């Protein structure tokens, strides 16, 4: 998340499996993604995803990067994600796909430097979710709980869309339109945060 007192800093775990993170793993970074106080702890190679989005989007306070298997297919074929239910209202504004090949040719697929982070942030634009071809996705929000909420429901929405497309045979789907998306997203930012207490209760350290 962005540092709550210093908007030009952000907090992120050292390179460790998320399920194993403890408070001692949190490193502070500047927006160039240089660690302020690493103290021997290793950084994620892809921290530039976070740094460049915080730089480009002052409204975003938290960024989640993930590799959900159900989401990845939408970055590999030309079928856009749509908002299948109210909890995924934040997707109704449209979900861009970032293909790292466009500017960088053949790579290891990782957003491993600032230039690649800038390109990703540009692909995301003013949306809150961006897919990364053959890699994963990024979900953002104005608070830590809202970014986690969006990461979770991007994954759930992907599963719903797979089944709905199969069920409907490619015909019309009564998904959220843009106005429904705006209205439902506003309410999700408050009432939808109910799940946060549950998710917090499952963190063990």
Question: Which one of 30-38, 48-56, 115-123, 169-177 is the stretch in contact with a copy of itself (CB under 8 A)?
Answer: 169-177
**d(C-alpha 12, C-alpha 205), whole Å:** 17
Footprint on residues 8-27 left by a copy of itself (CB under 8 A): 15-17, 19-20
Q: Which residue lies nearer to a copy of itself by CB, 56 or 193?
A: 193
Residue 20, Cβ density class (10 Å: 0-12 exposed, 13-18 middle, ≥19 buried)? exposed
Contact criterion met (CB below 8 Å) for 119 and 101 = no
Footprint on residues 45-104 left by a copy of itself (CB under 8 A): 45, 67, 69-70, 72-79, 83-87, 89, 99, 101
Footprint on residues 130-149 left by a copy of itself (CB under 8 A): 133-136
**d(C-alpha 7, C-alpha 3), whole Å:** 6
Task: Mark residues 180-199: x for contact with a copy of itself by CB under 8 A, - for none.
Answer: x--xx-xx---x--xx-xx-
**Residue whose C-alpha is closest to residue 130's, from 113, 150, 106:** 150
Smallest gap from Cβ 93 to a copy of itself, in A, equals 15
Pairing verdict, β 136-141 and 62-66? antiparallel
Instruction: State which of residues 5, 23, 58, 106 lies at the interface with a copy of itself (CB under 8 A).
Output: 106
Tell me, rounded to whole angstroms, the distance of Cα 72 from its chain centroid: 13
Tell me, rounded to whole angstroms, the distance of Cα 92 from its chain centroid: 15
Tell me which residues are annotated as active site: 46
Smallest gap from Cβ 184 to a copy of itself, in A, equals 4
**d(C-alpha 76, C-alpha 156), whole Å:** 18
**∠ CA 54-52-154, rounded to 5°:** 70
Residues that bind a copy of itself (CB under 8 A): 15-17, 19-20, 45, 67, 69-70, 72-79, 83-87, 89, 99, 101, 106-110, 133-136, 156, 159-160, 162-177, 179-180, 183-184, 186-187, 191, 194-195, 197-198, 201
């Amino acid at each position: 998340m962005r540092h709550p007192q210093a908007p030009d800093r952000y907090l992120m775990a050292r390179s460790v499996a998320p399920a194993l993170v403890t408070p001692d793993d949190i490193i502070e970074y500047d927006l160039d993604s240089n660690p302020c106080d690493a103290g021997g702890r290793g950084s994620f190679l892809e921290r530039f995803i976070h740094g460049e989005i915080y730089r480009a989007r002052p409204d975003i306070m938290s960024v989640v990067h993930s590799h959900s298997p159900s989401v990845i297919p939408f970055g590999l074929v030309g079928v856009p994600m749509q908002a299948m239910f109210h909890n995924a209202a934040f997707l109704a504004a449209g979900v861009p796909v970032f293909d790292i090949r466009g500017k960088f040719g053949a790579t290891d697929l990782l957003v491993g430097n600032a230039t690649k982070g800038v390109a990703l942030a540009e692909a995301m634009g003013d949306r809150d979710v961006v897919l990364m071809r053959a890699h994963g996705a990024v979900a953002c929000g104005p608070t830590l709980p809202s970014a986690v909420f969006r990461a979770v429901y991007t994954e759930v929405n992907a599963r719903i869309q797979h089944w709905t497309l199969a069920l409907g045979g490619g015909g019309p789907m009564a998904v959220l339109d843009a106005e429904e998306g705006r209205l439902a997203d506003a309410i999700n930012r408050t009432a939808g945060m109910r799940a946060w207490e549950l998710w917090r209760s499952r963190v063990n350290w």
